[in-house]
Amino acid sequence: MGMAASQARLLSITSRMADNELRSQIINNSKMRLATESSKVSEQYVNALNSATMMMSNYDTTGESQYQKLTFNSLTAYSSYNNQYGLVNANGKLLVSEYDANIYRDVKDKQGGLDEFLAQYGLKYESTYFTKDTLGADQITFDDIGETYTIEELEEMYYGSENKMSYDSALQSAEYVNYSDYYEALMAADESYTAAVSEAINNDIFDSDWDTLYNNYLNVDPSTKSVSYFKDGITSLKTEIQRLKDEGKLKDSDWLETIESMINSLSFSGNTLTVTASVPAVKNGNTYTFEDNIVLDAAHYHGPEYQKDDEGEYVLDDAGNKIVIRDAYYDRNLSLKDKGNSNSISYAISQNGCFGGHTPSPNLSGTVNFTYTVTEKDEGEDGSTETSTTKYNYTYKIGDSTATATYQITDAASAQAIVAQIILEFEAGIASHVNRDEYKDANPTAEAASEAYDEALDKYVELVFGNVSAAQKDKISADKEILTDPGAIIQWANKNGYNTSTKFETIKQIYILDQLFEINGEPAAGWVDINNPDENADAKVQWYTNLYNRMKQGYAVLEDGLASSNEWIEFAFESGLVTMEQVDTNNNWVSTIYTNCSDITEVTDDAAVAVAEAEYNKAMNNIENKDKRFDMELKNIDTEHNSLQTEYDSVKSVIDKNIERSFKIYS
């Protein structure tokens, strides 16, 4: 019975020891798995530390700096502040977005070019010249020809239309070339004709009598003469002019009218020369400003004036209203001012005529006579002072645009200067204003020159006026000064009721635009971004011009999904799927390496690293705690195993002794 109990105990101990060995093995296996987990956690943490994202530094269209993940879209985004980059595939084709590719294909399908391509991005080459802001008004009046044109009409003249050639085309037109050639030919023929008859003119006009006139009045010492002496010089000139007119040798012209007007402005009386001239007067309200800085003010407006009886009471009509004598009136006084004239002045005013007014802006009427005396002082280099006094007598009818001014000359030198001026102007202009036909028979050369002139004149007149009658041509030829300038031609034609030809319309178009450019400068055109008017359109034009030129060399379309993917472009760079190009300062596409690009950087995600570190620390703490627990369990198992081993040995010894005694009993 005792032996059976010992054997049962031994079996129990053996079972427990075997169980402990199994548990120990399981724990050791678990400890090995902890090492694997620890390695995995470490690997995740290291990956987070080593993980970096490609970032792109560029600018938006407003110039604001941006820092974002590198994608095809961010790499190739337009901004006037950005560098221009492109990606090229293994076939050397530029990768472009679906949007850019669609625009390019559409332009090519319509047989368009660069301008049409740029237009799709809102880029338009235009001028802001023909606007009210630039020209200052909706329509422009050209005073020299008396015509007015709207901005739209002027713009059509410059750019052209279906029915009108452009300014540049007009300059290259046959009409303009012929006009220039015909004009030069006419001027040359005119000069030759004048030269050919000049000898006969000299014999007829500048004869011994003219020499006497010249020497007696222009070369004489005025200090030895009186003012009245020079009257004969003017009289002789008048006589010569009248002779030439009577003989049909002098043509009517503006030049002749000016000469005769200058002569008629002179009046000699004793030793005084009176000069009469028209002085422009500009009205502003009731103020009249004259050309020589005199300002005449009308003052003290009253009105209306009512009828009064002998007792000073108002007289009423049947309806009980005051009876109006006049709508408005002025006090009988005026004031004369010197507008900015530094010379001393004195004046006396008398006024004739009646006063009245016109509603709603009453005006002074009548005639004003006033004397304006100017004293001038000239200082010589030696310090001496010379004083001269000129008295101007004005007769001005209020409301007119000019006043008649007279002034008296009492010194012979001044009288000689005025007479000499008239004689010299006659001498300088007479050769161009005689009737040359009266002199051409003097020699064969003049006859040939006359025929050449008529031929040149016919061609020029036909181009300017079209087909005209002989009488009309004679009138045009008589005023040939007008032919030297398109503006003068237009003005003369309007004044005399002549129509210019359709060919001349081209020359007129050029003339009007040239007049406009003289005032406002040449039209300046430029690129405008109609979608973003304030943006640098020139930079945008260059950007998309570069893109267009590169696409012509070959392109491939990148899907929108890949174009916005950071992972794709990193993979494409790292795997060599694409290479990179950049536009240089000469707008050429050149190869570059993305790692050398200053706009591309690799950035570690600090937040991701922090998360990975926290997860690593947490996992390692868990592993360490488990490992400690496993060590404790192994230690407990080992202690229990030792105890069981001791007990096992003790029980085993007892059993062995019991067996030994039993053998001895039964032996």
Using the 3D structure, point to which of 473, 508, 523 is the last residue of a domain. 523
Per residue in 67-110, pLDDT (tens digit) is 778 899 888 988 888 899 999 999 999 999 999 999 999 999 99
Q: Choose the final residue of a domain: 497, 523, 549.
A: 523
Burial of 509 (0-12, 13-18, 19+ CB in 10 A): buried
Domain closes at, from 367, 388, 409? 409
Query: Contacts by 480-485 with C-beta closer than 8 Å and gap 24+?
Result: 480/190, 481/253, 481/254, 481/255, 483/183, 483/186, 484/183, 484/187
Indicate the pLDDT class of residue 314, thresholds 50, 70 and 90.
Answer: confident
Q: Please, are residues 91 and 556 in contact by the beta-carbon 8 Å criterion?
A: yes
425 within some domain: no
Same domain, 136 and 114: no
In a domain, residue 232? The reply is no
Q: What is the DSSP letter of 581?
A: E
Query: Would you say residue 259 lies in a domain?
Result: no
pLDDT band of residue 223 (cuts 50, 70, 90) is confident
* 3-state secondary structure string across 200-257: HHHHHCCCHHHHHHHHHHCCCCHHHCCHHHHHHHHHHHHHHHHHHHHCCCECCCHHHH
User: Which of 471-485, 513-527, 547-561, 578-592 is least confident?
Assistant: 471-485
Q: Is residue 165 part of a domain?
A: yes
More confident site: 314 or 616: 314
The answer to pTM > 0.85 is no
For the stretch 389-411, pLDDT in tens is 666 666 766 566 677 777 788 88
What is the reported pLDDT for 338? 54
- Asked if residue 492 has pLDDT above 80, the reply is yes
Residue 353: per-residue pLDDT: 35
Q: Which residue has the tokens 């002072």?
A: 385
Q: Are 548 and 119 in contact (CB under 8 A)?
A: no
pLDDT, greater one: 431 or 504 = 504
Residues 285 and 405 in one domain: yes
Q: Which domain holds residue 310?
A: 272-409
Q: Are residues 92 and 143 in the same domain?
A: no
- Percent of the chain past pLDDT 70, that is, above it, reads 74
Question: Is it the case that residue 308 has pLDDT exceeding 50?
Answer: yes
Residue 326 lies in a domain: yes
Same-domain check for residues 383 and 509: no
pLDDT per residue over 622-634, tens digit each?
777 776 776 777 7
Q: What are the phi and psi torsion angles at 355 (to 5°)?
A: -110, 155
Q: Dihedral, CA atoms, 471, 472, 474, 478, nearest 10 degrees?
A: 140
Mean pLDDT for all residues in the chain: 78
Confidence category of residue 203, pLDDT binned at 50, 70, 90: confident
CA distance 67 to 565: 16
User: Is the same domain home to 296 and 367?
Assistant: yes
CB contact at 8 A, 630 and 31: yes
pLDDT at 369: 66
* pLDDT score of 343: 45
Q: What is the mean pLDDT of residues 548-576?
A: 91
Identify whether residues 318 and 360 lie together within a single domain. yes
Residue 25 structure tokens: 């093995």
* 394 & 484 share domain: no
316 pLDDT higher than 80: yes
- pLDDT range class, residue 606, cuts 50, 70, 90: low
- Residue-level pLDDT at 63: 62
d(CA 175, CA 460): 11
Instruction: Name which of 230, 224, 236 is nearest 267 in CA terms.
Output: 230
More confident residue, 24 or 355: 24
What pLDDT sits at residue 278? Answer: 74
Q: What is the pLDDT of residue 514?
A: 92
Mean pLDDT of 499-503: 90
**Judgement on whether residues 553 and 569 belong to the same structural domain of the protein:** yes
CA 616 to chain centre: 66
- In which residue are the tokens 């050369």 written? 445
3-state secondary structure of 95: strand
pLDDT of residue 307: 80
* Structure token digits, residue 151: 């901005």
Q: Cα–Cα distance between 648 and 6 in angstroms, integer?
A: 10
Same domain, yes or no: 7 and 117 = no
**Number of compact structural domains in the chain:** 4
Evaluate whether residue 418 is within a structural domain.
no
Identify the band that residue 293 occupies on the pLDDT scale cut at 50, 70 and 90: low
Torsional sign, CA 268, 269, 273, 274:
negative
Same domain, 142 and 168: yes
Which of 83, 111, 86 has the alpha carbon at shortest distance from 100?
Answer: 86
Q: What is the DSSP letter of 322?
A: B
Judgement on whether residues 39 and 58 belong to the same structural domain of the protein: no
Mean predicted confidence (pLDDT) in 374-383: 66
Sign of CA dihedral 521, 523, 527, 529: positive
Determine, yes or no, domain membership for 175. yes
- Does residue 103 sit within a domain? yes
CA–CA distance, 54 with 68 (Å, rounded to integer)? 9
Q: What integer is the mean pLDDT of 554-574?
A: 90
Q: Is the same domain home to 177 and 301?
A: no
- Judged against a pLDDT cut of 90, whether residue 40 lies above it is answered with no
